[in-house]
């Protein structure tokens, strides 16, 4: 997949504002960004659910919209919001979607049963969609996206609003799919999710890609190794050499490559609501997209 | 998660896909049939009963007191039966692609899910219209059978009634889609149903001849998209075909082609936002 100067404008809103990226086969790429950064719009451009305003995009070497059928035959999409067919039960949902995807009745039934089993939903096969929990709905959506064995799986915030058990189950499933050779595009604003699954992350803000690279490299390149995070400090300790201090609202962050320095600082802090940890993707994300609200 | 149930590698093994138009249309059509079958009694009873109430009240009730002669050379019971069966094809189709489509479009977001597949947007909606056409064929046939039991007198040509119901259903499904493509909230449909569908049902020659009063009214009446269906249905009951029958056929097919084109154009714009 290749995008060059790709843009999508809605009247005066530049949802996607000239992005360049490439995705290799069997790569898992995470698109990170605050709400409204243009992640969903970008995904919709990829599976031809929107017309681009400008730029170039090719998927499997084909052109979206013009070669929608050929592209989408190899694409599975897990949508952000539940759009399962509420007039059907879980098994029927998969069966009908499999027919849409072009499977024969026989293959459709077999795949539906296999994927329900894989997603631990077999006991719910006859349940209507309304009676399923949020986690079940999301697992069913993932099963639905896999019916036709797509080469490319697009997941738009696959675990937003789910409990940790379901999240970890879904992550395990996605890692298994990647092992089996699938290319995965993932949008999320959970940094942990991006760090767990992605070979590479693209950080988006206001329709642009502002940073890209493997999660650990990004952290290493742009931040010190350790962070001491504290809130509600009435008095900020005097700065020490080797420690960088940032303040936002009532929160203070101290960055350093030397853990002992921060440990010493931690011991001197009057508050116990402080955490000393490794710098993570969220720190990078906040550094580049800012701490203010974006909407 | 039970990972042993699917052998490793099987999840992503390529599968043969049928991406042809026929299978795509069948998939969409079958979805509707399957859903409809689940709630057959609840869905199909009201429209059939509604047409029959009109038939009973007007044709059998009122008609037996006031109209011994009927219209157009047909006994009044037969006259109304031939009109109501086309009207019922219109009703069942137009409600499906207004309220039904709107719910799928806005609340259930079914078309978004379909956009994630290889289905063409045209296939998504043509499949739906074909389902409405099927419903039109079935409904008009049911009305034909019941009214026949109640005293209407069909001819052998009435075997073609399902065909008229089919095309009428397709046409009005397309009209419904065009309307839906403009509608912002579901309440807006009441303007369409009471403002257009109800008068069309009453004033397209279903219960009395609209033509023959004023020349201008003849033209207006003929241009209402339900009139050609009723004209054709009546020709079948009379077993007599005149130039007007030919005009009706051309108009019906013309309207169907026009609204098919408009519906796809409008819905494509709406779905792609």
State whether A60 and A205 are in the same domain: yes
- Identify the residue among A11, A28, A49 best suited for mutation to test binding to B, counting B beta carbons within 10 A and taking the highest: A49
Which residues of chain A does B27 touch, with a Cβ-Cβ cutoff of 8 Å? 96, 99-100, 102
- Chain A interface, best mutation among B32, B113, B119, B126, by max A CB count within 10 A: B113
Q: CA-to-CA distance for B56 and B62, rounded, in angstroms?
A: 9
Minimal C-alpha gap between B2 and chain A (Å)? 5
Instruction: Give domain status of residue A57, yes or no.
Output: yes
| Whether residue A8 is found in the same domain as residue A127 | no
ipTM: 0.88
The answer to whether the CB of A202 falls within 8 A of the CB of A46 is no
Domains held by chain A: number:
3
| Burial of A280 (C-beta count, 10 Å sphere; 0-12/13-18/19+) | middle
**Nearest chain B Cα distance for residue A170, angstroms:** 9
Q: Using a CB-CB distance cutoff of 8 angstroms, which residues of chain A are in contact with residue B272? A: 49-51
User: What strands lie across the sheet with A54-58, from one edge to the other?
Assistant: A13-22, A2-10, A54-58
* The three-state (H, E, C) secondary structure of B168-227, written as one string: HHHHHHHHHHHHHHHCCCHHHHHHHHHHHHHHHHHCCCCCCCCCCCCHHHHHHHHHCCCH
pLDDT at A243: 85
Q: Which domain holds residue A172?
A: 1-74+150-222
Q: Do B120 and A69 touch (CB under 8 A)?
A: yes
Contact B3 A118 (CB under 8 A): yes
Segment B185-238, tens digit of pLDDT: 999 898 998 899 988 888 888 888 877 778 888 788 888 899 999 999 999 999
Kindly give the pairing relationship between strand A28-32 and strand A183-188. parallel
How far apart are alpha carbons B270 and A177 in whole angstroms? 34
Token pair 């009471």 is found at B194
Q: Is residue A288 in a domain?
A: no
Residue A295 domain flag: no
Q: Does B7 touch chain A (CB under 8 A)?
A: no
How many CB atoms are closer than 10 A to CB B114?
Answer: 27
Residue whose pair of structure tokens reads 């912002």 in the numeric block: B184
Tell which residue, B118, B93, B120, B88, has the closest CA to residue B36: B93
* Residue B97: strand, helix, or coil: helix
Instruction: Examine residue A17 and state whether it is found in any structural domain, yes or no.
Output: yes
A255 and A193 within one domain: no
Same domain (yes/no): A210, A228:
no
Query: CB distance from B14 to chain A under 8 Å?
Result: yes
Give residue B4's pLDDT. 42
- The answer, for B40 touching chain A at a CB cutoff of 8 Å, is no
Same domain membership, residue A258 and residue A239: yes
In a structure prediction context, what are the per-residue pLDDT tens digits for chain B, which is 273 residues long?
A: 444 445 445 777 888 899 899 999 999 999 999 999 888 888 778 777 877 887 888 877 877 777 667 787 888 888 889 999 999 999 999 999 999 999 999 999 999 999 999 999 999 999 999 999 999 999 999 999 988 988 888 999 999 999 999 999 999 999 999 999 999 999 989 899 889 998 888 888 888 887 777 888 878 888 889 999 999 999 999 998 999 899 999 999 999 999 999 999 999 999 987
Indicate if A98 and A53 belong to the same structural domain: no
* DSSP per-residue codes, A204-266: EETTEEEEEE-HHHHHHHHS-SEEEEEE--SSPPPP-TT-EEEEETTEEEEEES-HHHHHHHH
pLDDT < 70 regions, chain A: 239, 291-295
Which of A14, A190, A161 is closest to A141 using CA atoms?
A: A161
Instruction: Write down the pLDDT at residue A34.
Output: 83
What are the chain A neighbours of B33 within 8 Å (beta carbons)? Answer: none
SS3 for A267? helix
B152 touches A at CB < 8 Å:
no
Please report, for the domain that includes residue A25, its CATH number: 3.40.50.300
My answer on whether A58 and A191 are in the same domain is yes
pLDDT in the model for residue B44? 78
Sheet containing strand A208-213, strands side by side: A75-78, A152-156, A183-188, A28-32, A200-205, A208-213
Number of C-beta neighbours around residue A275 at 10 A: 10
Which residues in chain A have Cβ-Cβ distances shorter than 8 Å to B38?
Answer: 87
Single out the residue of B130, B197, B211, B193 nearest to residue B167, CA to CA: B130
CB A170 within 8 A of CB A138: yes
Place of tokens 């290749």: A2
Whether residue A159 sits in one domain with residue A100: no
Residue A286 within a domain: no
Domain boundary among the residues A149, A176, A197 is at A149
Q: Are residues A157 and A215 both part of a single domain?
A: yes
DSSP secondary structure of A57-115: EEBTTB-TTTTHHHHHTTEEEE-SS----TTSBHHHHHHHHHHHHT--HHHHHHHHHHH
Given an 8 Å threshold on Cβ–Cβ distance, is B116 in contact with A145? yes
Q: How far is CA A279 from CA A221, A222, A257, A286, in A?
A: 11, 10, 10, 12
* Nearest-Cα residue of chain B relative to residue A169: B1
Strand, coil or helix: B58: helix
Interface test with A, best of B7, B11, B128, B268 (most A CBs within 10 A): B11
Residues on chain A touching B115 (C-beta within 8 angstroms): 47-49
pLDDT of residue B5: 47
Q: Are residues A137 and A10 in the same domain?
A: no
Asked whether residue A285 is domain-assigned, the answer is no
Q: Chain-wide mean pLDDT for chain B?
A: 88
Residue that finishes a domain, picked among A98, A123, A149? A149
Best probe of the A interface among B10, B12, B19, B101, by most A CBs < 10 A, is B12
CB contact under 8 A, B18 and A103: yes
Nearest Cβ partner of B6 from A81, A117, A148? A117
Helix, strand, coil share of chain A (percent; to 5): 35, 30, 35
């Amino acid at each position: 997949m290749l995008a060059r100067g790709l843009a999508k404008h809605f009247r005066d809103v530049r949802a996607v504002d000239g992005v360049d990226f490439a995705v290799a086969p069997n790569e898992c790429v995470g698109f990170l960004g605050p709400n409204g950064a243009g992640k969903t719009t970008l995904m919709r451009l990829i599976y031809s659910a929107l017309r681009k305003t400008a730029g170039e995009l090719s998927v499997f070497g084909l052109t979206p919209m013009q070669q929608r059928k050929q592209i989408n035959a190899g694409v599975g999409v897990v949508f952000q919001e539940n759009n399962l067919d509420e007039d059907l039960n879980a098994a029927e949902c998969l069966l009908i979607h499999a027919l849409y995807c072009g499977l024969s009745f026989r293959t459709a039934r077999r795949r539906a049963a296999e994927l329900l089993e894989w997603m631990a939903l077999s006991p719910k096969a006859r349940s209507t969609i309304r009676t399923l929990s949020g986690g079940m709905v999301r697992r069913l959506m993932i099963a639905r996206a896999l019916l036709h064995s797509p080469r490319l799986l697009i997941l738009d915030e696959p675990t937003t609003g789910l409990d940790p058990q379901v999240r970890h189950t879904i992550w395990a499933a996605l890692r298994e799919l990647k092992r089996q050779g699938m290319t995965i595009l993932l949008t999320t604003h959970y940094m942990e999710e991006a760090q767990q699954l992605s070979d590479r992350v693209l950080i988006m803000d206001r329709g642009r890609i502002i940073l890209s690279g493997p999660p650990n490299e990004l952290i290493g390149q742009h931040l010190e190794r350790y962070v001491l995070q504290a809130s509600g400090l009435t008095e900020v300790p005097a700065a020490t050499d080797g420690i960088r201090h940032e303040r936002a609202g009532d929160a203070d962050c101290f960055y350093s490559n030397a853990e002992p320095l921060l440990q010493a600082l931690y011991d001197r802090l009057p508050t116990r609501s402080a955490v000393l940890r490794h710098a993570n993707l969220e720190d990078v994300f906040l550094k580049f997209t800012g701490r203010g609200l974006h909407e | 998660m039970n990972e042993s149930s699917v052998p490793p590698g099987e999840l992503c093994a390529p599968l043969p896909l049928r991406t042809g138009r026929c299978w795509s249309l069948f998939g969409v059509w079958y979805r509707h049939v399957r859903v409809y079958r689940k709630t057959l009694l609840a869905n199909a009873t009201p429209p059939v009963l509604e047409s029959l109430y009109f038939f009973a009240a007007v044709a059998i009730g009122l008609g037996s007191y006031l109209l011994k002669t009927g219209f157009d050379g047909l006994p009044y019971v037969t006259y109304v039966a031939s009109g109501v069966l086309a009207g019922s094809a219109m009703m069942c189709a137009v409600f499906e692609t207004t309220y039904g489509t709107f719910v799928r479009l806005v609340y259930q977001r079914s078309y978004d899910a379909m956009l994630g597949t290889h289905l063409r947007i045209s296939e998504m909606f043509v499949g739906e219209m074909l389902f409405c056409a099927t419903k039109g064929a079935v409904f008009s046939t049911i009305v034909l059978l019941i009214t026949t039991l109640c005293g209407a007198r069909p001819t052998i040509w009435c075997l073609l009634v399902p065909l008229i119901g089919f095309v009428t259903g397709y046409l009005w499904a397309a009209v419904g889609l065009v309307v839906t493509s403009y509608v912002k909230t579901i309440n807006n449909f009441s303007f369409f149903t009471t403002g257009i569908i109800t008068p069309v049902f009453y004033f397209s020659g279903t219960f009395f001849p609209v033509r023959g009063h004023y020349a201008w009214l003849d033209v207006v009446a003929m241009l209402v998209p339900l009139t050609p269906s009723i004209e054709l249905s009546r020709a079948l009951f009379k077993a007599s075909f005149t130039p007007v029958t030919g005009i009706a056929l051309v108009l019906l097919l013309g309207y169907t082609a026009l609204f098919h084109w408009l519906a796809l154009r409008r819905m494509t714009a709406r779905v792609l936002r």
